[in-house]
């Protein structure tokens, strides 16, 4: 019982950190304006780790690789700590399990990123119906635009209703079911 509670707390803590680092990278990639309260919150929450790492890891093609690396490292720490609390014998297993844990952390990071994207799509869809003139609406629209814009070119609105968020959610679920789950199974097989 204590182990389950500790795993939940550690996973939640590391996932919240990873989400903040991932959103910072994604907002820069999607060219979201940083002059809004949501973006300023993400920047202030992540500055403690991103700024020092930027001195070591430079950006590439205008992207903040420090945020992306911290996103992955937070998920790796989450995976390693959960397995440690489960009593995984790291010392006995040796360095041969490292590729499995790195792959498992990658699958976990992809899963988390897809869940966050699905949440952003839901928030944007609700905001567009309930309060399209909210000060947060442009931020969420900019966050989901890279995902929804290609679908909106293919799927026309039906009766004034945009169905691209629904199709995007279905496609993201399929990505979670097929490649991400397969990667996770392969990684678990490598660490056994």
Q: What is the pLDDT along the chain (192 residues), one digit of tens a residue?
A: 788 888 899 999 999 999 999 999 999 998 888 888 888 999 999 999 999 998 898 878 878 899 999 999 999 999 999 988 888 787 777 787 889 999 999 999 999 999 999 999 999 989 888 888 888 788 888 999 999 999 999 988 888 788 899 999 999 999 999 999 999 999 988 888
pLDDT of residue 22: 96
pLDDT of residue 64: 86
- Here the tokens at position 154 are 């293919």
Query: How many domains in the chain?
Result: 1
pTM of the model: 0.90
Question: How far apart, in whole angstroms, are the C-alpha atoms of residue 80 and residue 78?
Answer: 6
pLDDT of residue 144: 93
Taken in order 27, 145, 74, 68, is the CA torsion positive or negative? negative
- Expressed as residue numbers, the domain containing 43 is 2-191
Per DSSP, 158 falls in state B
Phi, psi of 161 (to 5 degrees): -105, 125
Nearest residue to 26 (alpha-carbon basis) of 8, 51, 43, 1: 43
pLDDT of residue 36: 83
Q: At CB < 8 A and 24+ separation, what contacts does 37-43 make?
A: 37/135, 37/136, 38/136, 38/139, 39/139
């Amino acid at each position: 019982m204590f182990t389950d509670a500790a795993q939940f707390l550690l996973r939640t803590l590391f996932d919240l950190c990873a989400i903040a680092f991932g959103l910072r990278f994604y907002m820069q990639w999607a060219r979201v304006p940083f002059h809004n309260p949501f973006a300023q919150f993400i920047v202030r929450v992540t500055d403690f780790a991103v700024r020092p790492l930027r001195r070591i890891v430079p950006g590439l093609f205008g992207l903040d690789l420090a945020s992306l690396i911290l996103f992955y490292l937070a998920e790796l720490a989450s995976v390693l700590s959960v397995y440690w609390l489960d009593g995984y014998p790291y010392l006995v297993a040796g360095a041969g399990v490292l590729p499995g844990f790195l792959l498992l952390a990658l699958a976990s990071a992809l899963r988390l990123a897809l869940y966050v994207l699905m949440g952003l799509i839901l928030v944007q869809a609700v905001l567009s119906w309930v309060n399209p003139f909210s000060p947060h609406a442009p931020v969420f629209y900019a966050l989901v635009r890279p995902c929804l814009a290609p679908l909106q070119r293919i799927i026309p609105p039906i009766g004034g209703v945009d169905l691209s968020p629904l199709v995007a959610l279905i496609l993201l679920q399929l990505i979670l079911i097929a490649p991400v789950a397969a990667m996770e199974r392969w990684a678990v097989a490598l660490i056994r």
